[in-house]
Structure 1
Amino acid sequence: MALNKMKDLKIDEMERLTMDYVEGILQPTPTCDIWDQIWNFQAKPDDLLISTYPKAGTTWTQEIVDLIQNEGDVEKSKRAPTHVRIPFIEWIIPSIGSGLEQANAMPSPRTLKTHLPIHLLPPSFLEKNCKIIYIARNPKDNMVSYYHFQRMNKALPAPGIWEEYFESFLSGKVCWGLWHDHVKGWWEAKVYHRILYLFYEDMKKNPKHEIQKIAEFIGKNLDDEVLDKIAHHTSFDVMKCNPMANYTSIPPEVMDHSISPFMRKGSVGDWKNYFTVAQNERFDEDYKKKMADTSLTFRFQF
């Protein structure tokens, strides 16, 4: 049995995309190969960009934004899977396609997605003064969610066991880099650019209020009934069963939902089920040092 497990592990690792660095930030090799094209991407003034560190509520926000733009018309938001409706600009999977090509072929106004830290964002987004929505999630829950995502997503490196992943995340040796730098970089940028900075925990606590905020930022005036409808259709339980939002349309060779569903828990405080006392103490000490130079604060539980 042990030999079979070893064999399976090796096969699993061989199937995964290789990784490389872009200016010190780990990225899948296909992304690195077309980096010049990504960097030179031409944003348009009416583009709307959704930006997050991975597993911080990206798909949730994409669905909210799409429903706001369609004024709560659920059927319109079922026209295609999330990754087709809202291209992921730096993402390229040979068997699925290129987010950059999708974005370039899309008519305006476009809604786009990125996980890039602010210093790697194609400059045209800021030069054209595009509206950007950024969502940040507390790092402990973010780490746990990212760990499970890497387990099921063969387009990312195998995470190893939890203890190994804990170290990788703390040192920023994960795709899209160090969480601390990511959230701080975008937090500082919001002073100078049209960035709506939201928190995952606020969205969980009072979704209708945050949806209203997003709608106002986008320029949509929606009544209470539509806001309630959007809150319902973007609740975790509803989205988990929505094949246009739960990533079950992606081939299992890329995302294996039998290992861990793409939409796993969507909760606040799940980190307590994973962090040992020693890990929590170490994390807190590290967090204090890395976040000493920012006014940004997070809630780790309700």
Structure 2
Amino acid sequence: MDRMDVTETIAGIQLPGHLHTAQSLQYAQEFKFREGDIVIITYPKSGTTWMQEILTLIYSKGDPEVATSVPNWERAPWLEHMYFKDVLKEGEGPRIITSHFPSELLAPALQISKAKVIYIARNPKDVAVSFYYFHKMAKFLPNFDSFSEFLQSFLEGKVSYGSWFQHVKGWHEQKKNLDMFYITYEELHKDFRRSLKKLCRFLGCPMYSRELDEIENHSRFPVMSQNCMVNYTLISQDIMDHDQSKFMRKGIVGDWREHLTEEQNAEFDKVFQEKMSDCDLRFIWSLE
């Protein structure tokens, strides 16, 4: 069932019915994590696919066979999606699970588990731009007439998956309660090798230089963007229209400068200061 025009709501957050049902959302909240689980948590368009690929390659010691033969949504399925129970694999290595859930829905279960959590945050200006283009190509998300219209909804938290500000702050506050590796999309870009070594230490997966080289090579954007197991070209055009925008579009830091006007940027900065005034998080807006 496509359910393309259906919207599910949980905790005041709207989610596309194409991927979620009331039953799948309930199952996600009741899911029992176990020791050894690795849970990737992100707000959409914040480096989720990148981390799924990195973890796949870490646990294959840099061998790209699995990464180039099994779709990433099977390797690291979304907890809240309707197909989760059918694709979660029980076998060698840890279960890698992905979620866009906010902390209030998932943190309680994680707090009583021994799962490891990886949270990736991305500067919200780039998230807004990337999310806008995702809306253009994903037929299961609402249409917006312009970037300006989408940006206003994004700043108000009136988009699918809810407020970026609440999502990032909520999970950042959980660092003290969870076995969490918190990293930003920008840190991964700025010094990937250093970030990769830190991640491997967190996971307890020591790597030789050759293995790190392979992981670094196969998780580069140009390589991933051509990998049909990652770039979502396996999905029907009726669901994700790559003629409108590529799923893996640019993968850079600072693309917001090509899209936000001076007025929009000033308004964004104002909202950011207001909503993040109670949080000590700092973001990299450009690598130049």
**Which TM-score tier does this pair reach, normalised by the shorter chain?**
over 0.9
1:235 to 220, 229, 252: 220
The one-character-per-residue Cα deviations of 1:185-222 (angstroms, maximum 9, x if unpaired) are 11110112101001000111111111111111111100
Deviation at residue 56 of structure 1 after TM alignment: 0.3
Name the CA distance, whole Å, in 2 between partners of 1:26 and 1:20.
6
Contact 1:44 1:125 in 2 (8 A): no
Matched, 1:46 2:36: yes
Deviation at residue 268 of structure 1 after TM alignment: 0.7
**Structure 1 residues 10-159: aligned runs within 5 Å:** 16-29=4-17, 31-34=20-23, 35-92=25-82, 98-103=83-88, 106-107=90-91, 109-121=94-106, 123-159=108-144
Contact 1:117 1:186 in 2 (8 A): yes
Deviation at residue 66 of structure 1 after TM alignment: 0.6
What runs of 5+ residues in structure 2 fail to find an aligned partner?
Answer: none
Residue 157 of structure 1 aligns to a residue in which SS?
A: coil
**Structure 1 residues 131-210: aligned runs within 5 Å:** 131-210=116-195
Contact 1:72 1:230 in 2 (8 A): yes
Deviation at residue 160 of structure 1 after TM alignment: 3.1
Provide the residue aligned with 1:255 in structure 2.
240
Deviates more, 1:120-129 or 1:17-26: 120-129
Name the CA distance, whole Å, in 2 between partners of 1:201 and 1:19.
32
Name the CA distance, whole Å, in 1 between partners of 2:213 and 2:91.
29
Q: CA separation of 1:164/1:110 partners in 2, compared to 1, >3 Å: closer, same or farther?
A: same
Deviation at residue 269 of structure 1 after TM alignment: 0.7
Contact 1:87 1:100 in 2 (8 A): no
- What one-letter code is carried by the residue in structure 1 that aligns with 2:161? W
Provide the residue aligned with 1:289 in structure 2.
274
Deviation at residue 113 of structure 1 after TM alignment: 0.3
Residue 159 of structure 2 aligns to a residue in which SS?
A: coil
User: Aligned Cα RMSD in Å?
Assistant: 1.7
Residue 266 of structure 2 aligns to a residue in which SS?
A: helix
Deviation at residue 135 of structure 1 after TM alignment: 0.3
Contact 1:38 1:100 in 2 (8 A): no
Name the CA distance, whole Å, in 2 between partners of 1:139 and 1:180.
8
Contact 2:4 2:16 in 1 (8 A): no
Contact 2:110 2:178 in 1 (8 A): no
With structure 2 as the length reference, what TM-score do the two structures score?
Answer: 0.93
Residue 31 of structure 1 aligns to a residue in which SS?
A: coil
- What one-letter code is carried by the residue in structure 1 that aligns with 2:22? D
Residue 90 of structure 1 aligns to a residue in which SS?
A: coil
Deviation at residue 249 of structure 1 after TM alignment: 1.2
Deviation at residue 31 of structure 1 after TM alignment: 2.3
Contact 2:44 2:100 in 1 (8 A): yes
Deviation at residue 293 of structure 1 after TM alignment: 0.2
Deviation at residue 244 of structure 1 after TM alignment: 1.3
The one-character-per-residue Cα deviations of 1:135-188 (angstroms, maximum 9, x if unpaired) are 000000010001101111122222331111011100111121100111111111
The one-character-per-residue Cα deviations of 1:44-97 (angstroms, maximum 9, x if unpaired) are 2211101100000000010001100111111132231101111111123xxxxx
Provide the residue aligned with 1:3 in structure 2.
none
How many corresponding residue pairs?
A: 283
Deviation at residue 99 of structure 1 after TM alignment: 2.0
Deviates more, 1:168-177 or 1:25-34: 25-34
Percent identity at matched positions?
Answer: 39
Name the CA distance, whole Å, in 1 between partners of 2:139 and 2:211.
38
Deviates more, 1:115-124 or 1:232-241: 115-124
Contact 2:37 2:97 in 1 (8 A): yes
